[in-house]
Structure 1
Amino acid sequence: MLFVFQLIYHSICQKPIFLVPGLLGSILHGSVTEKKRWYCPTFQDQDVWINKMLTVPPVFNCLFDFVGLQWNNNTNEPEQVKDVNLSIVDFGGLNGVSFFDTPLLGMSFVPYYKPLINKLKTQFQYEERIDLFGIPFDWRFGVHQKSDYFEKIRQQVEDAFYLNHNEKAIMIGHSMGCYLLDVFLMNYTTAEWRNKFVDKVILLAPSFGGSFSAFYSLWTKRPPVVSILGTFPDTIGTMGGIHAHMPNYDIFENDILLIEKDGQPKYAKDLVEVLIENGKINHDMNKILGVHEKWFSQKPSPIDLPVKIVYNSGLKTPKILNLTNDKEEIINGKGDGIVNAEGPEYVCSYWNDIECLDLNSNGLIGSDHISMLYSDKTLNFILEQIDETLI
């Protein structure tokens, strides 16, 4: 009897779900035809980000060479570097969003949405490309994606709506995936479209308020999240996904984010100039950064749908760079270790039709920017939004 009920539920009541990963979270696949360094490989049709074979020294230098961008003065747009052609994998499917790492001997080790996917499949009988979809994106370009990419999302949502008996979508984003959803929904769709095709939006550790960590990544030339890999001065300053996360001018308007050697305070609106003055970004890097300034110079657009947010304000999170001492000093604020709490707190205070869960945790597991995706508290919150009979 239960099996019959599940079949009826699956065929009639299921809301299609879309999973959008964050910065560094979409697998990139393609070819590299010329070497920049003698020890770098060339290849065709291979997973690149993040391929475990490319994360060992010194080859990880090649990995970051491959994912850099350059500025095209003819098109006035960022583009891939010469002799590199990478793209996302499995748009609409789950292969590009289940794990951070690509398979080695058939195994991946660092999960992304995999724990949530497993629960959706086992508890609700969701099926890939029927009512469960992945929306990977080329995070190197940040939210500055081509309009045809956003058209692909729109078409996928519409197709899922009709495939699932006119059930509206639940769109789930993590980190920069929340940023991308905000840009997509409020700039590439109409209110009429949203009301027809989207039921609600679930945002996990949303980063559209920006983060001091993005500024500090540009300052140190170290990648966010995986800073342990070292410095990559030719690449980090070209990554649109980092640029997009510069602290938002409005949300951080009155917050001191840097203290100069002479004690002069600097605020969000000053940080681009600080990077230029200190030689942290060159002319072309500044042009790539400029295409994102329109996003971080204004408040994120309120999403006019029911919005559910999970974030954490309980971990020490870098917020201020103090240069008054001989050695650089980081002063912490609150957040999830990567994204400052100011962004989520702003939208939780000012957006309409919003429900927010602050984990408010300083635990080692389940509270930081990545591992909160695996925590029972987060997963149960998501499942309750999918099956409101559990609330």
Structure 2
Amino acid sequence: MKFSCLLVTAAAALVSTSLTASSNELKSRVLLVPGLASSRLSASIKTDGAAWCRTHGNHFALVWISLRRIFCSHYLKLVFNPITKTYTNRPGVTVKVPGFGKTNTVECVGSFILCTLLRSLNLMDQMVKFFVRQGYQRGADIRAAPYDWRLAPDSLRAQGYYAKLKGLIETMYNGKKVTIATHSLGSLTTLYFLNSVVTSEWKNKYVKAFVPMGAPWGGAVQTLSGFLYGYIPASNQRIIPRFIMNYSRCIIRTLQSAYFLAPRPDVFGSQVLVRTPTKNYTAQNYQQLYQDIHYPIGWQKHQAALGVIKGYPNPGVPTFCIYGTNVPTPEQLVYNKSGDLLNAIPKIIHGNGDGSVNKESLEICHRWAKKVTVINKVNHSDIVRSSQVMHEILRIATADTIQ
């Protein structure tokens, strides 16, 4: 009796293994490309300054984002060369992105303690766990390609990111094309890769689908909040100490990606983005805005960033665009006094979008997407936690033919 039970158990195990193997052979593997500030950044800091920030030997310490080093973030500031239009790290600082090809650093962007305390840092953990429950394996069937989100897509080429990304996709290819699921800035980074790095022949062989989620194709008004007063996500900006917001603004103004994600003139046109009693600022007169906030070099950075992706080119692969809507989204910043541009927190007028990205920017993908899924009242961060979105990506990845 025991022997027959063992035979049945063994047979069941063999059948189960066979079915799992068969399933794994049929499905498209999934690659995740996270959004703005959603990759960890570690740094080697060999400069004068606070002792708790400095590192020793070949050690790289987690800076983004670590509770212990939260006020070492200024070492992540970039240095802009106005002649070459390129960015470098601060002298004495080397920054790297840990976890390329793995999922753990995008499942939890911060240190263990922070991820335990703040759900917002666990942006992609639910998605990874969802695919694991479907039989996907971390590091094989589902992987991630974190990157240095301080930079716009063109600067990642010099870092070797796209060569690594291309190699990772080729490694993941198992006779079945790879599904690339991206969020926010990661969608524009991937768009640049698909249009400026790889050939049509390569895309036809290796990429099954491109699934951008909450992509700020034409920029976002919320980006201007960072330049002007050091926006930090919170229900009430006025409860945050002024020195923290100044610290944030000081860092944000050095980031290439911030200029790249500013509202683009060809999308926002003459719409007033910043209003004062004496002047209105649109996406067509940024130069005046930078002069009035006493940061003229910002205009040079802005001009350089505008040319990174020209127009909104078709990715050249089946694209399934997903975004949220009907969430109050910053549309205009209103200052009561002209001098308030330098320090005050403006009144925010809201319009339609996903809470972070404006509707007119999100919907640009209608131009070439095979399918667009618009989800009512799901915000920019929660789009990657949406059960509906996860099932849509699974459907795309497992379908014999995608529609």
TM-score, reference length from structure 2: 0.83
**Unaligned regions of 5+ residues in structure 2, if any?**
1-14, 341-345
The residue aligned with 1:113 is 124
Deviations 1:77-116 (A, max 9, x none): 2111122211101211123311121224996853121111
Per the alignment, do residues 293 and 167 of structure 1 end up closer, same or farther by CA in structure 2, a change over 3 Å counting? same
Q: What letter is aligned with 1:317?
A: T
SS of the residue corresponding to residue 311 of structure 1 reads: strand
Q: Does 1:387 align with 2:398?
A: yes
User: Shift of the alpha carbon at 1:154?
Assistant: 1.2
User: Shift of the alpha carbon at 1:172?
Assistant: 0.8
User: Shift of the alpha carbon at 1:225?
Assistant: 7.6
Q: Pairwise mapping of residues 149-160 of structure 1 onto structure 2 (< 5 A)? A: 149-160=161-172
User: Shift of the alpha carbon at 1:136?
Assistant: 0.6
The residue aligned with 2:389 is 378
The residue aligned with 1:364 is none
Q: Does 1:91 align with 2:100?
A: yes
User: Shift of the alpha carbon at 1:149?
Assistant: 1.7
User: Shift of the alpha carbon at 1:207?
Assistant: 1.4
The residue aligned with 1:27 is 40
SS of the residue corresponding to residue 302 of structure 1 reads: coil
The residue aligned with 2:226 is 217
The residue aligned with 2:343 is none
Q: Does 1:193 align with 2:212?
A: no
The residue aligned with 1:346 is 364
Q: What letter is aligned with 1:70?
A: V
The residue aligned with 1:317 is 329
Q: Does 1:251 align with 2:267?
A: yes
> Are 1:22 and 1:173, in contact at CA under 8 Å, matched by a contact in 2?
yes
Per the alignment, do residues 295 and 319 of structure 1 end up closer, same or farther by CA in structure 2, a change over 3 Å counting? farther
**Unaligned regions of 5+ residues in structure 1, if any?**
362-366
Distance across 2 between alignment mates of 1:19 and 1:105: 22
SS of the residue corresponding to residue 238 of structure 1 reads: coil
Per the alignment, do residues 26 and 103 of structure 1 end up closer, same or farther by CA in structure 2, a change over 3 Å counting? same
Q: Which stretch shifts more, 251-260 or 80-89?
A: 251-260
Q: What letter is aligned with 2:256?
A: G
User: Shift of the alpha carbon at 1:383?
Assistant: 2.1
The residue aligned with 1:52 is 67
Higher helix fraction: Structure 1 or Structure 2? 2
- The CA RMSD over aligned residues, in Å, is 2.7
Distance across 2 between alignment mates of 1:260 and 1:108: 39
Deviations 1:292-350 (A, max 9, x none): 12137x432222221112211211101112346677432111111111111121222x2
User: Shift of the alpha carbon at 1:74?
Assistant: 7.3
User: Shift of the alpha carbon at 1:179?
Assistant: 0.9
TM-score, reference length from structure 1: 0.85
Q: What letter is aligned with 2:136?
A: Y
> Are 1:22 and 1:177, in contact at CA under 8 Å, matched by a contact in 2?
yes
Q: Does 1:240 align with 2:253?
A: no
Distance across 2 between alignment mates of 1:160 and 1:108: 34
> Are 2:275 and 2:333, in contact at CA under 8 Å, matched by a contact in 1?
yes
The residue aligned with 2:6 is none
Q: What letter is aligned with 1:230?
A: M
SS of the residue corresponding to residue 151 of structure 1 reads: helix
Q: Does 1:138 align with 2:148?
A: yes
Which residue of the other structure, out of 127, 130, 133, is the alignment partner of 2:137? 127
Per the alignment, do residues 257 and 168 of structure 1 end up closer, same or farther by CA in structure 2, a change over 3 Å counting? same
Distance across 2 between alignment mates of 1:236 and 1:169: 34
Distance across 2 between alignment mates of 1:184 and 1:86: 22
The residue aligned with 1:276 is 290
Distance across 2 between alignment mates of 1:230 and 1:286: 22
> Are 2:52 and 2:69, in contact at CA under 8 Å, matched by a contact in 1?
no
The residue aligned with 2:9 is none
Distance across 1 between alignment mates of 2:320 and 2:48: 46
Per the alignment, do residues 231 and 40 of structure 1 end up closer, same or farther by CA in structure 2, a change over 3 Å counting? farther
The residue aligned with 2:181 is 172
Deviations 1:14-70 (A, max 9, x none): 31211101110010112112244x475212321111012223xxxx3x32x121111
Q: What letter is aligned with 2:157?
A: K
Distance across 1 between alignment mates of 2:179 and 2:212: 11
> Are 2:40 and 2:65, in contact at CA under 8 Å, matched by a contact in 1?
yes
User: Shift of the alpha carbon at 1:73?
Assistant: 5.9
Aligned residues: 368
Q: What letter is aligned with 1:309?
A: C
Q: What letter is aligned with 2:35?
A: G
Which residue of the other structure, out of 318, 321, 329, is the alignment partner of 2:347? 329
The residue aligned with 1:304 is 316
Distance across 2 between alignment mates of 1:106 and 1:21: 16
User: Shift of the alpha carbon at 1:246?
Assistant: 0.7
Q: What letter is aligned with 2:145?
A: I
The residue aligned with 1:17 is 30
> Are 2:37 and 2:149, in contact at CA under 8 Å, matched by a contact in 1?
yes
Per the alignment, do residues 287 and 35 of structure 1 end up closer, same or farther by CA in structure 2, a change over 3 Å counting? farther
SS of the residue corresponding to residue 325 of structure 2 reads: coil
> Are 2:353 and 2:362, in contact at CA under 8 Å, matched by a contact in 1?
no
Distance across 2 between alignment mates of 1:317 and 1:307: 25
Identity %: 21
Deviations 1:221-252 (A, max 9, x none): 33568975522243211011211101122122
Q: What letter is aligned with 2:124?
A: Y
